[in-house]
C-alpha cells in the first residue's frame, strides 16, 4: 500500500513538472488566476458604491456591505445616499477603480457611446463636463448607458461560478457513479430485495429534502458568494446520501417478509451504463435549452441543469479506469484485510483512477461557460437583472453599429474557453505516457 501511494505521489509530481515546462500552460494558469481574482473582487473593482465613505466623522464601507443608504446622527436619524452623496457637511469617499455598477444606467451617456466617443456628465446646475480618465466608460456603454467594462468584470464572476460549480456537481455525480459501476460491475454486489426496493423508493424523498426543500438556501448562497454556494451544494449532497442510506438500511425492517429476504444481484454497471446511454442519446444542447426554458430563470437552476446533464463522459472515464484498478494486487490485499467496500473504493482505488476524469472536468468547465453564454444570449439562462457575457452579446445584436458590445464580450468568452481547453489538453498529454513527448 505504501509503495502504491508513493508511486501515485511521484506520478503526480511528474505530471506537475511536465505542466510547468510548457509556456502556454504557464500563461494559461496566470490568466486563470487573474480571472479568478477579478471574479472574487468584482464588487470592489467595479461598483457605484464607495469603498470608503465618511460624513461628519462617521465612517461607512458601502462596497463591502452592499448598503444603499447610511444613517447619520444618533438623535436625528438622517438617511444619506452613498451614490449621490453631495450634502452639507464633511463628505469624503474613495471610489472603486471602475466607478460604475453593471446594471445601473448613465442617462447622460446612453444610446451607445463608444470607447472613443465624447462622454460627459451634466451637473446639478446644468453645466456639461467631459469625462476623463477612469471616470470615462472605457469600453463604451449600451442602450441605456450601462458601462460595458463593469458588465464584463461582473460577468466574469457569473461565468466562472457557473462553469466551476456546474462541473463540481457533474464531477461528483460522474465520479461516484463511474466508480460504483467499474468496481462492482454486474456480479459483485448482492443486496436483499427489501434493501433494493427501499433504496429505489428513497430517491424521490432524498431529492425533495436535499434540493427542493433547500432551494432558497442554495439560491441565497449563490447570490452571496461562491464559497457559501459550494458549501450549501455539498451539504445538500450529504443530505441526499444520508436519506438514501436511511432508506437502504430501513429495508432491513422488512426482512421478516419471506419474499423480501432473498438476496439478488444488483447489476450496478448495467443500470448506470443504460442511464448514460439514455442521457447521451438526447441532444445535450436541446435538452439544456428545454430544461432552462421550463425552469424559472435563476443561477441555481442554470448550474443544476448544466451539472446534471454533463456527468456522462466523466462517469465513462472513471468506470473504465476502475475496471482496471479493481483487479490490481493492492485492491485484493485491502479486501483480504477486511476493509470496508466504501473505504476500498474511495481511499485506495479511486485516487488511482481519477486522472482521466480530471481531464474531462477541465474540458467541461470550458463547455459549461459556452453553454451559459449561449443560454444568456437567448435570454433563458439567468434573470434579466444579472449581467453576463452572453447577455452583453445579446445587447449588441440590437445595434450592429455598437461593435464594442460584441467584440469585447466575445474576446472574454474566447480567452476563457481557450485557457481551460489548453489546460485540459496539457493535463491529458502529461497523464498519458504515449503523448508526453
Work out the average pLDDT over 241-250. Answer: 85
- Assess whether pLDDT exceeds 50 at residue 7: no
- Assess whether pLDDT exceeds 60 at residue 89: no
| Domain definitions of the chain by residue range | 52-95, 149-435
HSE, side-chain direction, 13 A CA sphere, residue 410 = 10
- CB contact set of 88 (below 8 Å; sequence gap of 6+): none
Task: Return the CATH number of the domain spanning residue range 149-435.
Answer: 1.10.3720.10
Q: What is the pLDDT of residue 343?
A: 86
Beta pairing partners, 264:
191
Q: What is the pLDDT of residue 20?
A: 61
Q: Are 52 and 93 in contact (CB under 8 A)?
A: yes
- CB contact set of 372 (below 8 Å; sequence gap of 6+): 158, 159, 162, 163, 302, 306, 381, 382, 388, 390
**Helix H or strand E segment including 70:** strand 69-72
Confidence of residue 224 (pLDDT cuts 50, 70, 90): low
Burial 50-70 (b: 16+ CB within 10 A, else e): bbebebeeeebbbbeeeeeeb
- CB contact set of 266 (below 8 Å; sequence gap of 6+): 184, 189, 190, 191, 196
Work out the average pLDDT over 178-188. Answer: 85
Q: Are 382 and 298 in contact (CB under 8 A)?
A: yes
Q: What is the pLDDT of residues 290-337, one digit of tens each?
A: 777 776 777 777 888 888 888 999 999 999 989 888 888 888 888 888
Work out the average pLDDT over 111-135. Answer: 85
Q: What is the pLDDT of residue 5?
A: 44
- C-alpha cell recorded at residue 400: 450592429
- Assess whether pLDDT exceeds 90 at residue 153: yes
> Exposed, middle or buried, 150 (CB in 10 Å: 0-12/13-18/19+)?
buried
Amino acid at each position: 500500500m505504501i509503495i502504491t501511494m508513493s508511486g501515485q505521489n511521484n506520478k503526480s509530481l511528474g505530471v506537475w513538472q511536465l505542466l510547468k515546462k510548457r509556456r502556454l500552460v504557464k500563461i494559461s494558469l496566470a490568466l486563470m488566476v487573474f480571472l479568478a481574482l477579478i471574479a472574487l473582487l468584482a464588487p470592489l473593482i467595479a461598483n457605484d458604491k464607495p469603498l470608503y465613505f465618511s460624513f461628519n466623522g462617521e465612517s461607512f464601507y458601502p462596497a463591502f456591505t452592499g448598503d444603499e443608504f447610511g444613517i447619520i446622527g444618533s438623535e436625528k436619524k438622517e438617511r444619506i445616499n452613498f451614490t449621490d452623496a453631495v450634502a452639507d457637511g464633511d463628505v469624503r469617499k474613495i471610489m472603486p477603480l471602475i466607478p460604475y455598477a453593471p446594471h445601473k444606467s448613465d442617462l447622460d451617456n446612453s444610446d451607445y457611446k463608444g470607447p472613443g466617443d465624447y462622454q460627459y456628465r451634466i451637473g446639478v446646475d446644468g453645466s456639461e463636463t467631459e469625462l476623463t480618465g477612469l471616470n470615462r466608460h472605457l469600453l463604451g456603454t449600451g442602450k441605456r448607458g450601462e458601462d460595458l467594462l463593469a458588465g464584463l468584470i461582473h460577468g466574469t464572476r457569473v461565468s466562472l461560478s457557473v462553469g466551476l460549480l456546474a462541473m463540481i456537481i457533474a464531477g461528483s455525480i460522474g465520479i461516484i457513479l463511474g466508480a460504483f459501476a467499474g468496481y462492482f460491475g454486474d456480479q459483485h454486489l448482492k443486496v436483499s430485495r427489501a434493501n433494493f426496493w427501499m433504496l429505489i423508493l428513497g430517491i424521490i424523498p432524498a431529492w425533495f429534502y436535499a434540493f427542493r426543500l433547500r432551494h432558497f438556501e442554495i439560491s441565497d448562497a449563490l447570490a452571496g458568494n461562491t464559497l457559501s454556494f459550494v458549501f450549501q451544494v455539498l451539504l445538500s449532497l450529504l443530505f441526499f446520501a444520508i436519506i438514501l442510506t436511511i432508506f437502504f438500511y430501513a429495508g432491513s425492517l422488512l426482512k421478516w417478509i419471506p419474499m423480501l429476504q432473498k438476496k439478488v444481484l444488483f447489476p450496478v454497471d448495467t443500470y448506470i451504463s443504460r442511464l448514460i446511454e439514455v442521457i447521451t442519446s438526447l441532444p445535450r444542447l436541446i435538452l439544456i435549452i428545454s430544461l432552462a426554458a421550463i425552469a424559472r430563470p435563476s443561477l441555481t437552476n442554470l448550474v443544476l441543469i448544466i451539472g446534471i446533464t454533463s456527468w456522462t463522459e466523466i462517469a465513462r472515464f472513471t468506470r473504465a479506469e476502475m475496471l482496471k484498478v479493481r483487479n490490481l494486487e493492492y485492491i485484493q490485499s485491502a479486501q483480504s484485510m477486511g476493509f470496508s467496500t466504501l473505504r476500498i473504493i474511495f481511499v485506495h482505488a479511486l485516487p488511482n483512477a481519477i486522472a482521466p476524469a480530471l481531464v474531462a472536468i477541465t474540458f467541461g468547465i470550458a463547455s459549461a461557460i459556452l453553454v451559459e453564454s449561449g443560454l444568456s444570449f437567448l435570454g433563458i439562462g439567468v434573470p434579466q437583472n444579472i449581467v453576463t457575457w452572453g447577455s452583453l452579446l445579446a445587447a449588441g445584436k440590437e445595434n450592429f453599429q455598437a461593435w464594442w458590445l460584441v467584440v469585447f464580450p466575445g474576446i472574454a468568452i474566447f480567452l476563457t474557453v481557450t485557457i481551460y481547453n489548453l489546460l485540459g489538453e496539457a493535463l491529458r498529454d502529461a497523464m498519458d505516457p504515449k503523448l508526453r513527448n
